[in-house]
Amino acid sequence: MALNRKVAYIDLNTGDVQTKPIPLAVRKKFVGGRGLDAYLLYNNTKKGCDPLGPGNALIISAGILVATLASATARTHVMAKSPLTGMLGSANMGGFFAPEMAWAGFHHLVITGKAKNPCYIYIHNGEIEIRDAGDIWGQSVTDAQWAIRQDLGDEEVKSCVCGPAGENLVRFANVMTGVKNAAGRTGMGCVMGSKNLKAVSARGTMDLEIAHPVEALEYNKRFIEQITSAKVSQTQGTLGTPFIWGATNSWGGVRTRNFQYNQCEYSDDIEPERIDEICEETMGPHHMTGCFGCQVHCRAQYKIPSGPLAGKYDEGPEYTSLGAFGAETDTPRAVTVLTGNHLVDQYGMDNLETGSLISWAMELYELGIITDKQTDGLDLSWGNDEAVIEMIERIAYRKGFLGDALADGGIPASKKIGKKSFDYLVQVKGMSNLHSDERATPALALNVATASRGSDHLRSRPAIDLYHLPEKVLRKIYGSPIPYDGPLSSEHTEYTGKPWQVFWQENLYMGVDSLGICKYHTVFLGVTLPTFEEWSKVLYLNTGIEMTPEELWQAARRCNMIERLFNLREGLKRNDLEKGDMLNHRYFDEPCRRGALDVIGTTIDKKKFIKMVDELYEHQGLDKNGIPKAETLQSLGLENEPTHLL
């Protein structure tokens, strides 16, 4: 059954492989996926370890429900100490790898050491071997996966790979699977590259026994209906995630020209309807696809319609690429966005970090902080499509001064460039913001500042705060499974009650990441989607584990606290601009200049923001400095960590 899936410890230095069962007591404390990964990372790395050294543990996992009868259970999670931030590295992706790993007998891999030569790990029906990857090293993300299939003589093999960016130790390189599924953010592909690990491949045909199969099937029918009947799911199934960018840009909530503007003008060519047209023109009417076990099919397929890479196939773009290579750099042209999306997918590089750093460099170029000397003659003026595409390649291969500097991430690059360049770097904890602008949304600003892996929209974002839901509806959502009778506000510009919303979403997202379900199948954008109540039932029917909604909430809190403990151990300080829960000064000092009437002129009130952080810390059980109180650790059973239970 699902609970028989093991954890494997793989030492690339020695080639030693050890496997262990995961005790039920550990499951109930940390569940699986991201939650158990956090425990494993905290217990298998030493304070201050070099993120690119052999002592950094790279953990790849499947959530506990992956490959069961539960819907949309496809998520792979990757965790290590981040080479980009020096703190928690964590990334999550869909596709088909995690189910294959589960069918091969494993839910968690803990990989340490460094191989002498390029290698890949192959998992097959309970067996693990380390194989030579000398001929695969240097290949693109897609080519590497097909090469591994050819090497193993099996086209059904699924692989997690690092592309050329990971091999070149770009500190925000991704782990990739399939054409575009990206464990992006925080540089997990860079950790793979540092270990001479090109890929982890899996092929499994082992049975996965379901605890209560008939009941699980019947319940999942209702689960699927709950998901597919939501309007947000239907919209995603038609336009994909670009619909989010289109709505947000119309309102005035996206960054343009780094942080100068909050709305991208003259952007008809990258609106979701236009992207959909290109996908249909190049791939036909049935161009939407999806991940394992998912009925929504939110991912488009396309071919680049023109330009030097015309005809190249890819998938997406997600709404993040529209911002990274369209809005931020003020290049709202479909060919630029689709080409940029394709290149980062093939190089294995975080689109958000790449686009943000290029737009930052463009602003520095405009200000004269960097000149043609630093760019090696490349014109980094706003709107220069060719420069955006050129910089993607320069970063991936560390070409020239600027390509090499940006490949190390924003904070190290700012120290090389100097001249107050750091002031214009929109980042939290060393990770660049995505393309959104939260100056008009205090709740989302709080999320960005306090997320565990750095500036983030997938850790605690209360996106439904923009829906202006009646307080009665908000109380129904945010009052379960733990009662809450504090303030709540339907107004997105308010500060009151927002810390609880962020706290609640933080636990919700940890829960869904631990189960291995997609965030789009919970209360992220859709208010009627499954949450703790449904999870308790689906967990029991598929695995036999009995956990109440309240116990799942407590487990999520526990796992979030482990991530906090890791960050504190690695230097997290509340108000530190490089390693703290603090926003760039531009949020407080520079008003929004475009957009709707409730957006123009807004900033984040710093005093109210600080009060929000205080309130969030109180909900989390932290003191004013963001350090867990003794009673909090005791109530969560973490007072003796690390305990090395596994």
Q: Give the strands of the sheet with 88-93, arranged side by side.
A: 17-20, 6-11, 106-112, 58-62, 76-81, 88-93
Please tell me the predicted confidence (pLDDT) of residue 590.
98
The pLDDT of residue 3 is: 79
Closest CA to 238 of 308, 165, 309, 287: 287
**Domain map (residue ranges) of the chain:** 2-203, 240-432, 442-636
Q: How confident is the model at residue 640 (pLDDT cuts 50, 70, 90)?
A: very high
- Give mean pLDDT, residues 554-568: 98
Average pLDDT over residues 91-114: 98
pLDDT tens for 501-549 read 999 999 999 999 999 999 999 999 999 999 999 999 999 999 999 999 9
Architecture field, domain 2-203? 4-Layer Sandwich (3.60)
Q: pLDDT digits over 156-170, tens only?
A: 999 999 999 999 999
DSSP H helices in 304-432: 319-322, 334-347, 351-367, 372-375, 385-396, 400-407, 410-417
* pLDDT digit string, tens, across residues 352-375: 999 999 999 999 999 999 999 999
Question: Chain-centre distance of CA 517, in angstroms?
Answer: 14
Task: Assess if CATH 3.30.420.40 describes domain 240-432.
Answer: no
Which CATH number does the domain 442-636 belong to among 3.30.70.1230, 1.10.599.10, 3.40.50.1820, 2.30.30.30?
1.10.599.10
**In the chain, pLDDT over 90 holds for what percent of residues?**
95
Residue 254 has pLDDT above 60, yes or no: yes
The pLDDT score that the predictor gives to residue 108 is: 98
What is the per-residue pLDDT for 1?
A: 54
- Please say if the pLDDT value at position 4 is more than 90: no
Q: Provide the pLDDT for residue 528.
A: 93
Give per-residue pLDDT as tens, 208-219: 999 999 999 999
Nearest Cα to 15, choosing from 156, 183, 195? 195
What confidence tier does 2 reach under pLDDT thresholds 50, 70, 90?
Answer: low
pLDDT at 555 over 60: yes
Amino acid, res. 529: L
